[in-house]
């Protein structure tokens, strides 16, 4: 966070220092940009792991211990070793050990091409972009056994986007908003400390589509190059993501995952979304 704050301060200072050095310019025409910055996952406090104990395709079932053990919620708070959920990465095999939250910044590097058109002070245009974004989104369930059941979601390769942007030119600067469609390959993976049951599959990859919205400020450095600072919110829909079948393994029939259906219990994360905030500094060459 400290490094991003420094980068943002430098970018904004550069924009302000250059404000009077170049006369008002025409924004019309093509350009190519390189940008660098940071990104952080949009933390969903309400996300959890959900279960399908009878394998009917409906999630939201409660996994319970055998009746002889009280029929307790296997992920509930009713024992000395409580169960529960956290929207982060497990630091141990039980809820009391806690989780690390999804708040760390990863890199966000992009290349884009665009074309702007200008009518008076109003500027509008189109942008095509490819970005390498390093973000990870975790959610973990803890059972009362205790054991941890953790899902991780990240971007496999590049995020591709096509957006419109529109703004207002003043002096040598342009303030704008932007929005459009985004596409990426997203990987879901699974980890557990439970060594009794079987778990399949452990990873999946799927195409994810979504949208981007944001705003920024760009200013001319000279008659060819512009410097910009931008915020961009990205939301990608992964459909259903990864569904993990918790099977018998070496567990007895009284195992909570096997009581309702001896074939096991399906589990997955409750959210289909991978969303993150991006903060960038860009340098553009205009033609």
pLDDT of residue 79: 75
DSSP letters spanning 68-104: GGT--BTTSS-SSS--EEESEEESSSSGGG-EEES--
Please give the distance of CA 192 from its chain centroid, rounded to a whole number. Answer: 22
User: Which of 12-21, 78-87, 107-116 bottoms out in mean pLDDT, i.e. has the lowest?
Assistant: 12-21
Percentage of the chain beyond pLDDT 90 is: 80
Measured between alpha carbons, how far is residue 84 from residues 112, 189, 282 in Å?
43, 20, 43
Question: Beta-strand (E) ranges in the chain?
Answer: 29-41, 49-52, 84-86, 88-90, 99-101, 106-119, 122-133, 136-143, 147-170, 173-192, 198-200, 203-220, 225-237, 244-247, 265-269, 273-286
- Higher-pLDDT residue of 281 and 6 is 281
pLDDT of residue 11: 43
Q: Is the pLDDT of residue 17 over 80?
A: no
- pLDDT band for position 43 (50/70/90)? confident
pLDDT of residue 68: 85
Q: Where are the domains of the chain?
A: 2-56+105-136+147-286
The mean pLDDT value of the chain amounts to: 90
- pLDDT band for position 3 (50/70/90)? very low
Over residues 137-147, mean pLDDT: 94
* Span 234-252, pLDDT tens digits: 999 988 789 999 999 999 9
| Of 281, 178, 189, 151, residue with least CA distance to 234 | 178
pLDDT of residue 81: 87
pLDDT of residue 8: 44
Gap between the Cα atoms of 97 and 186, Å rounded: 29
Q: Is the pLDDT of residue 101 over 80?
A: no
pLDDT of residue 24: 61
Gap between the Cα atoms of 179 and 181, Å rounded: 7
CB atoms closer than 10 angstroms to residue 201: 12
Which CB contacts under 8 angstroms, 24+ apart, belong to 57-60?
A: 59/266, 59/268, 59/270
CB atoms closer than 10 angstroms to residue 116: 23
Q: Is the pLDDT of residue 116 over 90?
A: yes
- pLDDT band for position 92 (50/70/90)? very high
Altogether, the residues listed in the chain come to a count of: 287
Q: Is the pLDDT of residue 19 over 90?
A: no
Over residues 3-20, mean pLDDT: 42
Question: Beta-strand (E) ranges in 120-146?
Answer: 122-133, 136-143
Over residues 109-127, mean pLDDT: 97
pLDDT of residue 103: 64
Q: Is the pLDDT of residue 126 over 70?
A: yes
Architecture category of domain 2-56+105-136+147-286 in CATH:
Beta Barrel (2.40)
Gap between the Cα atoms of 142 and 145, Å rounded: 8
């Amino acid at each position: 966070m400290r490094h991003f704050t420094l980068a943002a301060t430098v970018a904004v200072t550069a924009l302000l220092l250059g404000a009077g050095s170049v006369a008002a310019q025409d924004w019309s025409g093509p350009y190519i940009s390189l940008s660098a910055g940071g990104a952080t996952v949009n933390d969903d406090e309400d996300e959890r792991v959900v279960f399908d104990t009878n394998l009917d395709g409906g999630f939201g079932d409660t996994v319970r211990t055998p009746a002889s053990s009280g029929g307790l919620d296997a992920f509930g708070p009713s024992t000395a070793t409580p169960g529960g959920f956290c929207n982060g990465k497990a630091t141990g095999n039980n809820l009391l050990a806690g989780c690390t939250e999804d708040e760390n910044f990863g890199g966000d590097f992009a290349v884009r091409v665009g074309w702007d058109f200008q009518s008076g002070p109003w500027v509008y245009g189109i942008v095509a972009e490819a970005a390498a974004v390093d973000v990870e989104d975790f959610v973990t369930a803890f059972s009362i056994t205790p054991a941890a059941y953790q899902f991780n979601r990240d971007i496999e390769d590049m995020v591709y986007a096509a957006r419109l942007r529109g703004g207002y030119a003043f002096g040598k600067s342009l303030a704008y908003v932007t929005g459009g469609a985004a596409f990426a390959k997203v990987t879901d993976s699974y980890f557990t400390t439970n060594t009794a049951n079987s778990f399949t599959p452990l990873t999946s990859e799927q195409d994810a589509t979504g949208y981007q919205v944001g705003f920024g400020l760009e200013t001319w450095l000279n008659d060819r190059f512009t410097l910009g600072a931008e915020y961009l919110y990205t939301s990608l829909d992964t459909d259903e993501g990864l569904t993990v079948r918790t099977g018998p393994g070496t567990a007895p029939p009284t195992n909570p995952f096997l009581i309702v259906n001896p074939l096991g219990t399906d589990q997955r994360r409750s959210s289909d979304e991978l969303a993150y905030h991006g903060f960038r500094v860009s340098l553009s060459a205009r033609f």
